[in-house]
Amino acid sequence: MDIDLSGESDWTDMEQFRAPLARPFVSADPDPERFRVRYYTDPLGNLAARAWFGPHCEGPPGHAHGGSVAAVLDEAMGGNCWVQGHAVLAGTLTIKYRRPLPLGSVVTVRTAVDRVEGRKVFAVGRLLDASGAVVAEGEGTFIVMREELQGTLDAEARKAGRTFGSAY
């Protein structure tokens, strides 16, 4: 199926960063009937995306599972923290669902970092449908990893022939 995930004219394609950024659960999902996500940066340097929700994202009949919406926002908000130079894991995630999302929709994802306090990075995100209506809003507190944990995860990534923390 041909799905148009092209970005806005003032977005920069993040394809060169795809491998380290992409995670199997969302953006590197091997199942072509679930998510398809393409990342960009907007003119402010924040991560943006086009994302398609396929039939295997189903929750309510014909519509995206609340968990699938949460997963896309979590990955985009957390990914943006990394793009902004913060090596984080999710601490707290809040999703407000504004309207059901029909399967087969391509949505726009926007993210920003609201503020940084010590090791806490406060991130925000939005998922918008093709008409610009807000489907869901996200807020996340992402925590900068302690060196020891990051070292452990870096080693796990290298073992699998991938990169994790060193890509940005």
The answer to the question of residue 6 lying near a second copy (CB under 8 A) is: no
Residue (12 or 97) nearer to a second copy, CB: 97
**Taking CA 63 as the corner, what is the angle to CA 57 and CA 67, rounded to the nearest 5 degrees?**
50
Q: Which stretch binds a second copy (CB under 8 A): 5-13, 28-36, 44-52, 126-134?
A: 28-36
3-class secondary-structure state, position 52? strand
Q: Pairing state of beta strands 35-41 and 12-13? A: antiparallel
Instruction: Say which of 74, 114, 129, 154 is annotated catalytic.
Output: 74
Cβ pair 163, 20 in contact under 8 A = yes
The answer to the question of residue 123 lying near a second copy (CB under 8 A) is: no
The answer to the question of residue 71 lying near a second copy (CB under 8 A) is: yes
Q: Which of 95, 97, 107 is nearest to 132 (CA)?
A: 107
| DSSP assigned state of 102 | B
Residue (10 or 156) nearer to a second copy, CB: 156
Q: Rounded distance, CA 64 to CA 157, Å?
A: 30
- Tell me if residue 129 is catalytic: no
Site residues (vs a second copy, CB under 8 A) = 23-26, 29-31, 34, 55-68, 70-72, 74-75, 78, 89-97, 100, 149, 153-154, 156-157, 160, 162, 164
